[in-house]
Amino acid sequence: MAYGMRRGVELRGAVPLDAADIARLLRQPEDEMAGRLEAIAQDPHSTLMVAADYGPVVGVAALHWHPVLHAARSVARISTLVVAEEERHRGIGRMLLKAASQAARQAGCDSLEWRVEDEASRGFCAATGFAEAGHGFVRALRKRN
């Protein structure tokens, strides 16, 4: 799925050539990342998007959705949303979050969940419309009637 250019940053689906940049962002072994990207690409209930700033990947978001007993529609979950430290405060995280929300709505989801551990991410959740719920945060994707 192509997301286009925003503020000079290209938002797009991840491709195998992004494995090294994503491994660097996540501080994970590069030799394992290609297999992980392939597994997510093959999952019909997941998507992986990246933000590239004139070449290198500077942000990544992984999204997964599944049916739940407590809601009529599937729920989407962000498993990863990371922006390179030197690129933060440029709106890249918000752009990735907006693209993830759009993908979740297209998948038929009504809400977006995100479990975060660190204080900076908790502040980002609060600033972007998430509410604390259980062990994480949740945000509605559709207007309630």
Residue range 97-114, pLDDT digits in tens? 999 999 999 999 989 998
pLDDT of residue 124: 82
Strand-strand pairing, 2-6 and 9-13: antiparallel
Find, among 104, 112, 114, 109, the residue nearest to 67 by Cα.
109
pLDDT at 83 over 80: yes
Taking phi first (over 0 means left), then psi (-120 to 50 degrees means alpha), and beta for anything else, what does residue 35 get?
alpha
Q: Which two tokens stand for residue 86?
A: 């030197």
**Residue that has been written with the tokens 């491994």 in this structure:** 23
pLDDT at 38 over 80: yes
Interatomic CA distance for residues 134 and 70, integer angstroms: 14
**What pTM, to 2 d.p., does this model score?**
0.85
Domain 2-140 top-level CATH class: alpha beta
User: DSSP states of 44-77 as a string?
Assistant: TTEEEEEEESSSSEEEEEEEEEE--TTSSS-EEE
